[in-house]
Amino acid sequence: MNLRDRLGKEWLFCDGGMGTILQARGLAGGELPETWNIKRPGDILDLHCAYLEAGADIFNTNTFGANALKYPDNLEEIVRAAVRLAKEARKRTHREDAFIALDIGPTGKLLEPMGDLAFEKAVALFGEVVRYGADEGADLVLIETMSDGYEAKAAVLAAKENCSLPVLVTTIYDSRGKLLTGGTVDSTVAMLEGLRVDGLGVNCGLGPEQMLPIVRRLTEVASVPIIVNPNAGLPRTENGKTLYDVGPEEFSSWMEQIASLGIHVAGGCCGTTPDHIRRTIEKVSKLPFRPPYPKKRTVVTSFSQAVEIGPKPVVIGERINPTGKKKFKEALRSRDIEYILSEGLRQEDAGAHILDVNVGLPEIDEPEIMETVVKRLQSVTALPLQIDTSDPAALERGMRLYNGKPMVNSVNGKRESIEAVMPLVAKYGGVLVGLALDEGGIPDTAEGRLKVARKIYAAAEEYGIPAEDIVIDGLAMTISSDSRSARVTLETLRRVRDELGGHTILGVSNISFGLPRREIVNAHFLTMAMTAGLSCAIINPGNEAMMQSYRAFLALQDLDENCMGYIAAYAGTAPAPDAVSARPQGAAEGQKAAAAGPMRLGESIERGMTERAAALTREGLLTKDPMTLINEELIPALDRVGQGFEKGTLFLPQLLMSAEAAKAAFEVVKEQMAGTGRKIKGRIILATVKGDIHDIGKNIVKVMLENYGYDILDLGKDVAPETIVDTAIRENIRLVGLSALMTTTVVSMEETIKLLREKKPDTLVVVGGAVMTQEYADAIGADCYAKDAMATVRYADSIFDA
Amino acid sequence: MREGKDVIRETDSREVARYLGYHKVKPDPAMEEEIALCLEDLCRAAEPRAVWRRCALEQKEDGLLTVKALPEDPSSGILMETASRSLSRNLRGCSLVCLMAATLGPGPDLLVRRAQILNAGRMVIYQAAGAAMIETWCDEINEEIRREAQAAGLFCRPRFSPGYGDLPLSLQRNFMSALQMKKEIGVGLTDSLLMTPTKSVTAFIGLGQEKTACPREGCEGCSQAGSCSFARS
């Protein structure tokens, strides 16, 4: 019998602790438990038999820690032996009805960006285990004790791509209901259901009592069967000894309470024994069984946040998009990822809930850049992303590497589009934007658009995508070319909500294309659209008029409790129509500015006031030519700051804040000089060497060098010697700056220098980092040791100015 | 023991300034404000966690140290072996040692990465404030361990981490498995033996029968003493 025929239809029970029992049988600290599959098979067999005799329906192979990192030489042997032992136990106890779960635990490494294990490497590691286990005859894959949703996603993909067995996933929460990576029940459930797991739940970490609130939340949000495998209480340390002291009687009573909340599979984890399971089965199987039912929630997630669509309109930031933005296009072409990230972070600070990510340009490798931008964005923001592309390859790359359940923008009613996009959503999960247009173009009536929407819902059903994972784009078209267009759009929104029970989305500002003072129309249209039921507004959250409409709407519609959101945004602000309300870059800037009164550009730079410096540069350019401004104000100010730092009268954060202010001033000059800008003194490679993940020092040096007129090729951290040398050759670079923080990684620095000397002997090397000294630098053959960022600037000047 | 979030709120802003290189100089009021704001952000972002375990310690004349599970532990065996003169000096006379690991979680690293893009000045303040904060959190764990030891009539030695003196960084691997650090507190190890999240610390704390004069510790005991611009004055 297949597990799928019984799961969610009747009570099923998992086995209990494995590791804790093996320890009691003599497993030594540091000894890998899976080695017993070969060394002491009798003990493993006994344990399986005891659980099967106690009544467990699903029991785990002894493969929790089995992966190629821990078993580089004999993984296959270990996994196959484990499944064979499980089969033998089933035969011996005449429990042929029981299901063998191929047990998969975490890799033991942290995934990027937190650690150094690449996502695809994790998928490959899990995949190997799945292939051996499934081939040997496991009945399901149980992924458990996952404290990182991203790693769980890698394991699920590995399971789905290497076998067709049912997949169950349980994660480990702390007493506050969070994963170690910050994920919550809501975010984890949405992501795993998106990945189409057969069941999900919670195990380890806590006892049944502490799990109650987590299980309660699971029963509120999960639509698939729920599995609960607690420890025998919270581990208690007594004289350094770890104890689990909730006995079978007490444990099973708690499990009765848990079961009556509406779960579907019960079992145990650390510290539980066959007796715990036996008593649990006796008590729980008497309770009425309630099958899972669909919760119909529309949720998108990041690694830690869940944003529900429906209860109130959400703001989707539209700024990560090259359309009509010269600077953004330039950033894409030159791979200035940081510029793209800064667009995202500014929208987050301005109040966006989700960020749209569109990086499509005809001449670039879109799948590659999508991968890079999604990876980098999810390392700096906890906002969920909306992957926006018409290139299915770019869409798949983005969705696959995404840490959560993304929004997907978009599919439309054309068969070709449905066939390209829907299989990806069915595989990776996502909330899909459906544009109300098809082969016949954009219908010019609401009825026509609803017809397309119905077609999209029907197609989604064919692909197994639930209706709640569809959001219909009612299509905002400019009223300047068709004066009826806003009314059609608004009617579409209303009817999708009322007749289809669906959610809607709009790129709001399209409505005013071609009109003057567009934000007047946009802001009012936004209010009208939300009144007509708009669920997701794609807007620029940095546009104050739009956010005013949004916040006022929430307050007026009883969607902002006690108007707290409105008050937080506007209390104490003046109704200045031209004011920009973004959070100032330097917290103290406002205060400093107020105290300062009239100020010269140089002073604003010395005091690190970014916005003031930009404004004063704009002002200065009205009366002075750009070069005069640079030479008489900007450069002298930078020099004063640099000298202050060198003399010890001014410190690192001030140095950097001044650098940022100067950068803002240079940006203004560059804009006004129509791209000619400053003369670049030279190009320099910067990198943190292989093995080292500390890049703050390198980033400080980068900021300073850029300020002093250098073009920096920033290769990032943990950079292989070959990459640095190849780049130096390809770009014909005269100076390379290397950073290392640990004595252990100075070795990589030495290797890099050696390789550089061999392959490109005319390139000079400057080194720095916490452990670096002049003696060390000499020993590894560097040309210069720079004790800080200014020293690097001085050295670069000595090379390039000469 | 106190709630971690309450503990880290007490991080001393003077320590942050010291990490920023303010040597015998007070930051100006604007910078003090900036530091205070960054500390607040960090308090919100951090999830302080810790794990520790008491173990048996065997010491040989030649400086070889063996850390073993206590006889009453569910799992037995040798947890680590190392030869280190610095650690031997620190643990002289101890037959028990506490292994500890503490972290602020991934939140502070995210703040640093964000500031790297938007505001380099804040980047270094978060970095310095995070360093001061993890020390504050470690002090609290240390204090808890001291209290437990005191109740058993034992005295603590100053905590000593892999990478100090001649103590090899490779011991981080042993800490990882002895304390189940990834599962318990979410700390991982890169192939180059660096801990992530970066605001994480592991340490030995020796437990002895006698109250001894503390060996030199902190700045005074460091091999970089004299050449370091961050030294405590």
B185-210 CB burial, b ≥16 within 10 A, e <16: bbbbbbebbbbbbbbbbbbbbbbbee
What per-residue confidence (pLDDT) applies to B219? 60
Contact B188 A115 (CB under 8 A): yes
Which residue, of A641, A672, A703, is where some domain finishes? A672
CATH number of the domain that residue A709 is part of: 3.40.50.280
- Pair (A30, A172) in one structural domain: yes
Residue B233 within any structural domain of the chain:
no
Whether the Cβ atoms of residue B55 and residue B79 lie closer than 8 Å to each other: yes
Which residue, of A672, A701, A716, is where some domain finishes? A672
Cα A79 to Cα A153: distance, rounded to the nearest angstrom: 21
- Pair (A335, A252) in one structural domain: no
Closest residue in B to A19 (Cα) is B75
Q: How far apart are the first and last CA of chain A?
A: 80
Residue A176 within any structural domain of the chain:
yes
- Pair (A172, A252) in one structural domain: yes
Residue B186 within any structural domain of the chain:
yes
Cα B91 to Cα B206: distance, rounded to the nearest angstrom: 5
Contact B105 A180 (CB under 8 A): yes
pLDDT level of residue B73 (50, 70, 90 thresholds)? confident
Residue B73 sits at the chain A interface (C-beta within 8 Å) = yes
Cα A785 to Cα A18: distance, rounded to the nearest angstrom: 54
More confident residue, A360 or B233: A360
Closest residue in B to A180 (Cα) is B186
pLDDT exceeding 70 applies to what percent of chain B?
90
Q: Distance of alpha carbon A25 from its chain centroid, rounded?
A: 42
Residue A454 within any structural domain of the chain:
no
Question: DSSP of B33-52, one letter per residue?
Answer: HHHHHHHHHHHHH---EEEE
Amino acid, res. A344:
G
Contact B123 A691 (CB under 8 A): no
More confident residue, B128 or A593: B128
What per-residue confidence (pLDDT) applies to A578? 47
Residue B185 sits at the chain A interface (C-beta within 8 Å) = yes
Is the model's pLDDT at B72 over the cut of 90?
no
Residue A438 within any structural domain of the chain:
no
- Pair (A395, A280) in one structural domain: no
A391-400 CB burial, b ≥16 within 10 A, e <16: eeebbbbbbb
Residue B69 sits at the chain A interface (C-beta within 8 Å) = yes
- Pair (A272, A159) in one structural domain: yes
Residue-number span of the structural domain to which A779 is assigned: 682-800
Closest-CA distance, B173 to chain A, in angstroms, reads: 11
3-class SS of residue A418: helix
Query: Could you read off the pLDDT of A712-733 as tens digits, one per residue?
Result: 999 998 899 999 999 999 999 9
- SS (HEC) of B121-132: HHHHHHHHHHHH
Q: Which residues of B touch A27 (CB under 8 A)?
A: 75
Cα A154 to Cα A401: distance, rounded to the nearest angstrom: 9
Whether the Cβ atoms of residue A127 and residue A102 lie closer than 8 Å to each other: no
What per-residue confidence (pLDDT) applies to A596? 47
Contact B73 A345 (CB under 8 A): no
Residue B81 within any structural domain of the chain:
yes
Across the interface, of B34, B114, B227, the residue whose CB is closest to A380 is: B114
Residue-number span of the structural domain to which B180 is assigned: 8-210
In degrees, rounded to 5, the angle at the alpha carbon of residue A381 between the alpha carbons of residues A296 and A114 is: 105
Instruction: Provide the domain count of chain B.
Output: 1
Residue A246 within any structural domain of the chain:
yes
Residue A582 within any structural domain of the chain:
no
Cα A656 to Cα A610: distance, rounded to the nearest angstrom: 11
Residue B220 within any structural domain of the chain:
no
Which residue, of A284, A304, A332, is where some domain finishes? A284
What per-residue confidence (pLDDT) applies to A585? 45
What per-residue confidence (pLDDT) applies to A802? 56
Residue B1 within any structural domain of the chain:
no
Instruction: Provide the domain count of chain A.
Output: 4
CATH number of the domain that residue A600 is part of: 1.10.1240.10
Cα A789 to Cα A797: distance, rounded to the nearest angstrom: 12
Residues of chain A with pLDDT under 70: 237-242, 576-598, 674-677, 802
For chain B, the maximum distance between any two Cα atoms, rounded to a whole number of angstroms, is 56
Across the interface, of B74, B121, B124, the residue whose CB is closest to A696 is: B124
CATH number of the domain that residue B165 is part of: 3.40.109.40
Contact B183 A703 (CB under 8 A): no
Residue B182 sits at the chain A interface (C-beta within 8 Å) = yes
Residues forming beta bridges with residue A712, ordered by sequence position: A684
Residue B219 within any structural domain of the chain:
no
Distances from the Cα of B66 to the Cα of B96, B145, B165, angstroms: 11, 21, 18
Write down the residue that tokens 């919270």 correspond to.
Answer: A234
Closest-CA distance, A587 to chain B, in angstroms, reads: 6
Reported for A484-487, long-range contacts at CB under 8 A and 24+ positions apart, including other chains, are A484/A444, A485/A511, A486/A511, A486/A525, A486/A528
- Pair (A389, A338) in one structural domain: yes
Phi/psi of residue B38, nearest 5 degrees: -65, -40
Question: DSSP of A510-557, one letter per residue?
Answer: GGGTT-SSHHHHHHHHHHHHHHTT--EEEE-TT-HHHHHHHHHHHHHT
- Pair (A248, A357) in one structural domain: no
Amino acid, res. A466:
P
Contact A29 B23 (CB under 8 A): no
Contact B119 A110 (CB under 8 A): no
Write down the residue that tokens 């950068």 correspond to.
Answer: A663
Amino acid, res. A107:
T
Identify from A604, A652, A663, A690 which residue to disrupt to test chain B contact, counting B C-beta atoms within 10 A and taking the largest count: A652
- Pair (A620, A647) in one structural domain: yes
Cα A442 to Cα A448: distance, rounded to the nearest angstrom: 8
Residue B175 within any structural domain of the chain:
yes
Is the model's pLDDT at B69 over the cut of 90?
no
Residue A125 within any structural domain of the chain:
yes
What per-residue confidence (pLDDT) applies to A627? 82
Q: Which residues of A touch B183 (CB under 8 A)?
A: 106, 145, 147, 172, 204
Contact A693 B109 (CB under 8 A): no
CATH number of the domain that residue A112 is part of: 3.20.20.330
Contact B77 A28 (CB under 8 A): yes
Residue B93 sits at the chain A interface (C-beta within 8 Å) = no
- Pair (A348, A276) in one structural domain: no
- Pair (A769, A743) in one structural domain: yes
Is the model's pLDDT at B121 over the cut of 50?
yes
Closest-CA distance, A585 to chain B, in angstroms, reads: 7
- Pair (A645, A761) in one structural domain: no
Cα A435 to Cα A412: distance, rounded to the nearest angstrom: 5
- Pair (A169, A96) in one structural domain: yes
